[in-house]
Structure 1
Amino acid sequence: MAAVKAYVVGGAVRDELLGLAVQDKDFVVVGATPEDMVAAGFTPVGKDFPVFLHPETHEEYALARTERKSGRGYKGFTVYSAPDVTLEDDLARRDLTINAMAKAEDGTLIDPFHGKRDLQDGVLRHVSDAFHEDPVRILRVARFAARFGFRIAEETMALMKSMVDTGEADHLVAERVWQEFGRGLLEEHAERMFDALERCDFRPKLLPELREIPKTFSGTLPVRFAVLCWPLQESEIEGLCDRLRVPNEERDLAVLCCRLRSSLDASSPGGLLNLLKRGDAIRRPERFRAMLQVARIVQPGFDATTIERALAAAAAVDAGAVAHRAPEPAAIPALIDRAREQAIAASLAR
């Protein structure tokens, strides 16, 4: 494998130039065949194209490849990987110039599409017109806008709009949409993702239920998704979750917030107990507290102190002991409710 060369590529090069911590390194190998890689001790793991794990570091090494559009959507590509594919050929298939840089083993930066300049200028610019062949790139650009606060080049925004107008963006795979969308929600300025989607006219197609976007996001991904869904009706949340294949944890919290948001003004012992029961707060306190966190974010003046005291008091009731004193099994639920309501009343009186 004397003629083979390996380069660090993509996000690792970008983040190093930005002075950010590099979490994972991806490598591109030029001049090798799959047989060469296996002979050198690498383990093949790629399904759609040749990717291998290093025998010692277990980092991913992909053979340089090109991609040609052969159908709609994510799977509609013909991949060509061979020793004659150059590093620049491989970089040319990437989405943005800031992700199309490589670093050689001696530290030399290979930057055929001027990604370093765009990094310095704070610009998200597509590498080539092949950008339009993968509609998930619209979401990736929006996510990077949220992460770095960079502006989107005018020609890139125009290309994104054309992808929406021509229907290419309609062929996104739902799981890939959530993968990018969820990562974007976790960015420090997630609201910028929605701004980018709005400007390319994709937000009404992708998220038609959303009539307003929160100005800020914080917390875990389930909390952030629930904040986004707070104004929606339950049927709208369910429709959005079905379409985006939203995971159960995020879906459940958003639906719970929808069901309980009108009852958060409860103040009587009986009303508070009913709120706790409807929210399954005794059995799932962490999810219930996440719902309260969502309410605080959406309604900055919201004070959950009374509800939290009620939860602590109700949870402290020894349900087993109460059940043991019940004259018959059918009486147990009502006796536990009464004991919890009394405990809540006592906590409020203090």
Structure 2
Amino acid sequence: MQIYKVGGAVRDRLLGKPVTDIDWVVVGASTEDMLAKGFRPVGSDFPVFLHPKSGEEYALARTERKSGRGYGGFTFHASPEVTLEEDLIRRDLTINAMAEDDQLNLTDPYHGQRDLEARVLRHVSPAFAEDPLRVLRVARFAARYASLGFTVAPETLELMRQLSESGELQALTAERSWKEISRALMEDQPQVFIQVLRDCDALKVLMPEVDALFGVPQPAAHHPEIDTGVHTLSVLEQAARHKQPLTVRWACLLHDLGKGLTPEEEWPRHIAHEYKGLKPIKAVNERFKAPKDCQELALLVGQYHTHGHRALELKPSTLLELLQSFDVYRRPQRFEEFIAACEMDARGRKGFEQRSYPQADYLRGAANAARGVAVQPLLEKGFKGPELGEAIKRERLKALKAYKDTASA
């Protein structure tokens, strides 16, 4: 029995990055051998065991063969005869197909170290094209390591393109897709993830609504970058630069989908794109079964982001409607995330990256003014039921008018 560290732990150590998760592979052992040493079985598809003391996962070396469509369409074979090299060849990228023993001796049959040094993401074998999830994984790794200068090898991008055209991407479950998408959006350069998906024609399969934004012009006065798709990538880049949470990044990706529906004869204007965008935003939300908080914020940002940009011009009544839509009294964090998404949208324009966004503090102040209205005095005056609701609304509107007058003074 021989035990090796494999995959990401080896890769990140060689890159000088912190090692968080460690994957172990066991060569020359059977299930009975593992049980005899006190390991506990947990794998359903193939033999995986928990270490009796550390609780870490140890997998028996295995081979795999394509037997159906999608991520799960594989038959696995694990036995003491499977070699380390045979286990490594089934992995996605050469930089993930290295192993080391407890003396840090490297086993690198597919030249992963060479590709690490060359900053190349390259597939290990033609079997790469058998697993559609790898399209998303490679795009995610491209986003993670873009700052180190990594790019996708042309021949790997070609295999990803073949996968995109094969219909295999449609076999991915919403859960598997969302897991990769959400992780990719939280990388340092999530815009690279979207760009790589577009480069291999996967974006038009997975998110045709986002792909449709590229080549759609906007007024140069407001958007010097002009192209709506380029703008979306820039907004996503700003969201990562400002360490925004997943909810905000997801909303940033989808906020302008309505512009992809504007007839060409109306370009570069996009009248009512906020409302037109709600249907495609909902479609993307449902396709990937995004978490409820991501879905809700994406729809609200899509509908109201121009209100955010025009906050200083809004009438008190419109401002109150905006605050009510976000339920700022019970869900203050959601409104804060809306403000963040609006700011990222404003900064995601060529030349505006460092520009201040006074609307943010103005909106926060408006929310505080509305929240500051006390309900108890109205109850003491005898208001109740629908009448109480109307009285609270009147007082909040009064507070917002006073706030606006003060802010304008």
The TM-score with structure 1 as length reference comes to 0.95
2:298 equivalent to 1:254: yes
What secondary structure does 1:313 align onto? helix
Give distance in 2, aligned partners of 1:252 and 1:330.
27
What secondary structure does 2:114 align onto? helix
Residues 283-340 of structure 1: CA deviation (Å, up to 9, x unaligned):
1110011001000000136422222111111112222442342344331001111222
C-alpha deviation, 1:169, in angstroms: 2.6
Partner of 1:269: 316
- The one of 360, 365, 368 equivalent to 1:304 is 360
Conserved in 2, the CA contact under 8 Å of 1:326 and 1:335?
A: no
Partner of 1:95: 92
Conserved in 2, the CA contact under 8 Å of 1:309 and 1:344?
A: no
More displaced 10-residue stretch of structure 1: 136-145 or 301-310: 301-310
More displaced 10-residue stretch of structure 1: 245-254 or 256-265: 256-265
C-alpha deviation, 1:98, in angstroms: 0.2
- 1:175-194 alignment, distance < 5 Å: 175-194=175-194
2:394 equivalent to 1:338: yes
What secondary structure does 1:304 align onto? helix
2:172 equivalent to 1:172: yes
Conserved in 2, the CA contact under 8 Å of 1:323 and 1:335?
A: no
Identify if the C-alpha distance between structure 1 residues 54 and 280 changes in structure 2 by more than 3 Å, giving closer, same or farther. same
Q: Which amino acid aligns with 1:318?
A: A
Partner of 1:314: 370
Give distance in 1, aligned partners of 2:129 and 2:173.
15
Partner of 1:12: 9
Give distance in 1, aligned partners of 2:82 and 2:317.
71
- The one of 131, 143, 161 equivalent to 1:134 is 131
2:352 equivalent to 1:280: no
Residues 219-240 of structure 1: CA deviation (Å, up to 9, x unaligned):
1111011001111211001111
Conserved in 2, the CA contact under 8 Å of 1:8 and 1:102?
A: yes
Give distance in 1, aligned partners of 2:376 and 2:43.
54
Conserved in 2, the CA contact under 8 Å of 1:8 and 1:26?
A: yes
Q: Which runs of 5+ in 1 are unaligned?
A: none
Give distance in 2, aligned partners of 1:193 and 1:146.
5
Partner of 1:214: 233
More displaced 10-residue stretch of structure 1: 85-94 or 205-214: 205-214
The TM-score with structure 2 as length reference comes to 0.82
Conserved in 1, the CA contact under 8 Å of 2:51 and 2:57?
A: yes
Identify if the C-alpha distance between structure 1 residues 321 and 53 changes in structure 2 by more than 3 Å, giving closer, same or farther. farther
RMSD: 1.5
Residues 252-300 of structure 1: CA deviation (Å, up to 9, x unaligned):
1101112222433243332221210112111111001100100000013
Conserved in 2, the CA contact under 8 Å of 1:309 and 1:348?
A: no
More displaced 10-residue stretch of structure 1: 232-241 or 317-326: 317-326
Residues 78-111 of structure 1: CA deviation (Å, up to 9, x unaligned):
1001111111111010000000000101110111
Q: Which runs of 5+ in 2 are unaligned?
A: 214-228, 258-276, 348-354
Partner of 2:83: 86
What secondary structure does 1:113 align onto? coil
Give distance in 1, aligned partners of 2:321 and 2:403.
16
What secondary structure does 1:79 align onto? strand
C-alpha deviation, 1:143, in angstroms: 0.7
C-alpha deviation, 1:24, in angstroms: 1.2
Identical aligned residues as a percent? 46
Q: Which amino acid aligns with 2:321?
A: N
Give distance in 2, aligned partners of 1:305 and 1:323.
31
C-alpha deviation, 1:344, in angstroms: 2.4
Give distance in 1, aligned partners of 2:16 and 2:187.
18
Q: Which amino acid aligns with 2:251?
A: A
Give distance in 2, aligned partners of 1:337 and 1:200.
52
Conserved in 1, the CA contact under 8 Å of 2:169 and 2:206?
A: no
Q: Which amino acid aligns with 1:214?
A: L
